[in-house]
Chains A and B, each alone.
Chain A
Amino acid sequence: MDVIYILWLRQCRRFFRSGIRVLLGFMQPLVYMLALGYGLNAVFVNSGNGSYLQFIVPGIMVQVILFTSMFWGANVVWDRQFGFLKEMLVSPVSRLRIILGNALGGVTVSLFQGLVLFIISVIVGFRPCNWALVPVAILFMSMLSMAIVGFSAGVGAMVDEMGGFVAVNNFLVIPLFFLSSSLFPLDHVPPAMKVIAEFNPISYAVDAIRTCLINKTHFGLLKDFLVLAFTMVITICFGTYRFMKIQA
């Protein structure tokens, strides 16, 4: 417990001390939220779908969590490059606890960003349909974050240079985000795109959060939960396995 806590604390400290980086993380999603949320609002309303800002905020929260969590694996690469990984690997702490402490740090930071964005969205006009369901939405955000952090830690353990990590990251993160239900409803898209989105676990996270926040569902909360839980188990196993095999 002690060890998990201190490794978690280390990651949090590293993040919150990085100063400007904390703020920069919000810029992109904030621009998306404001530009799209207000810019496309009229079009969305006219086509009979209601407020676009309401619709897009859950998607943007998923975006923040996806981006931050997906980049988390970079910490593994950095720790290897700057040598701190060796210090952790030779210690008598089991690999599992090392991963857990570091991953929980990633989840915390991602959630923090997601929540700050949520607060900003409320300030600019977003209204959840039922405040009591906000904690449930946060639960789904945590599940999404855990799944992505697990995956990206595995990737971080596999590559040995930052360039490789960034390449994999860019390759995945954009399609995962855009080919999901983050920015548009899946009801009217071409069938091929719909199929892709249905295979994309991110869609289920968006759907779950959207269900909780604005009471609009596509797959149903139970299916969302099951898909996310399944994805989480797979990616965490993958991340743990790759991390176990790491040699410094």
Chain B
Amino acid sequence: MQPVISVKKLCKKFGDFVAVNEIDFEVQKGEIFAFLGPNGAGKSTTIKMLTTLMQPTSGELHLAGFDVTKEQDSVRKSFGIVFQDPSLDDELTAYENMMIHATMYAIPHHERNLKIEELLKLVDLWERRMGRIKTFSGGMRRRLEIARALLHHPQIMFLDEPTLGLDVQTRNLLWNYVKELNRLKGMTIFFTTHYLGEAEDVAQRIAIIDHGKIVAMGTVEELKAKTGGTRDLEEAYLMLTGKEVRDEILDTEGVNKERNRSIIKAKTR
């Protein structure tokens, strides 16, 4: 069977700094795949390259059978994404944001209102649908972004730290819904998270990336076995990536500026 995501020798350099360093992996159709790693490891950069937002420095990328760098239009039809950073139009209402998405993804006219209603109710924002995003809390925005990504039923769903800043209830709701979509529609899920429990519960296979390199890949059991029979994923993860904090804030080199900014951003959210 052909993998639905295939990455070969993928590299991304920012100047001299290598953010993603020759990584290879494949995700099968219908799989739930977690991409874990410390801050600044290169997870979001990889997702940006997979989703046509960023040109890779080198390497091969295929999504749903299409070459990501050459057949961008076909590729874009095949996936949905929840970005790590905000991506809503603050000046518009929740409903309007949903409607723009529905239109851009060519959801048939007669389904639009119904689907939007269904998803806004799912994330408990139906009552606030006429509220402008700038009046929403962080968690509400996040929920809306998730609802929006689910609006068109993509073959592949990228979730870059989808549960960042969400309460426990919403997290459970999200993962249950995602698992159901995966089971019923065979949607392939590619996600990142810093809550290892989520990865352990939801993911069928996990890759761990550190300093732009994949250091381990396999099921939770395989990762535990590989690290000499650790008790849980967290222990295995710490064995693989080390215990020191990725605190690069004190760096003042030009190359590290952007990196610091993204870490600070992640920390303050």
Contact = CB atoms under 8 A, between A and B. Distances in A.
A, B co-complexed: yes
A227 interface: no
A84 B103 contact: no
Interface in A13-32: 13-14, 17-18
Nearest to B91: A14
Contacts of B92: 10, 13-14
A2 B108 CA distance: 11
B85 interface: yes
Contact of B76 (A14, A18, A91): A91
Interface string A1-14: 01100110010011
A94 B85 CA distance: 23
- Residue from B55, B81, B104, B106 whose CB has the most chain A CB atoms within 10 Å: B104
Interface string B15-54: 0000000000000000000000000000000001001111
B77 interface: yes
A170 to B, nearest CB: 25
Interface in B186-242: none
Nearest to B109: A2
Contact of B103 (A3, A18, A83, A87): A3
A132 interface: no
A10 B100 contact: yes
A10 B96 contact: yes
Contact of B88 (A3, A83, A90, A91): A83
A162 to B, nearest CB: 15
Given A7-B100, A91-B104, A86 B90 contact: no
A92 interface: yes
B59 interface: no
A7 B92 CA distance: 12
Interface in B66-80: 73, 76-77, 79
B101 interface: yes
B87 interface: yes
B89 A6 contact: no
Given A14-B92, A82-B89, A86-B83, A92 B54 contact: no
A6 to B, nearest CB: 4
Contacts of A82: 86, 88-90
Given A17-B91, A83-B86, A90 B52 contact: yes
Nearest to B134: A82
Interface string B124-140: 00000000000000000
Contacts of A6: 99-100, 103-104
A93 to B, nearest CB: 5
A85 to B, nearest CB: 8
A10 B55 contact: no
B88 A92 contact: no
A64 B53 CA distance: 35
- Residue from A3, A7, A13, A83 whose CB has the most chain B CB atoms within 10 Å: A83
B105 interface: yes
A87 B98 CA distance: 11
A86 B53 contact: yes
A9 B50 CA distance: 30
A82 B87 CA distance: 6
A193 interface: no
Nearest to A86: B87
Contact of B96 (A3, A13, A88, A247): A13
A113 B91 CA distance: 21
Contacts of B89: 10, 14, 82, 84
Interface of A: 2-3, 6-7, 10, 13-14, 17-18, 82-84, 86-94, 247-248
Given A84-B87, A92-B77, 8 more contacts: A18-B91, A82-B89, A83-B87, A89-B52, A90-B76, A92-B105, A94-B73, A247-B54
The 8 lowest CB-CB distance pairs between A and B, nearest first, are A83-B87, A91-B104, A92-B76, A92-B77, A6-B103, A83-B86, A248-B53, A87-B87
22 contacts: A2-B106, A6-B99, A6-B100, A6-B103, A7-B100, A10-B100, A13-B96, A14-B89, A14-B91, A18-B91, A82-B88, A86-B53, A87-B87, A87-B88, A89-B53, A90-B79, A91-B101, A92-B73, A92-B77, A92-B106, A247-B53, A248-B48
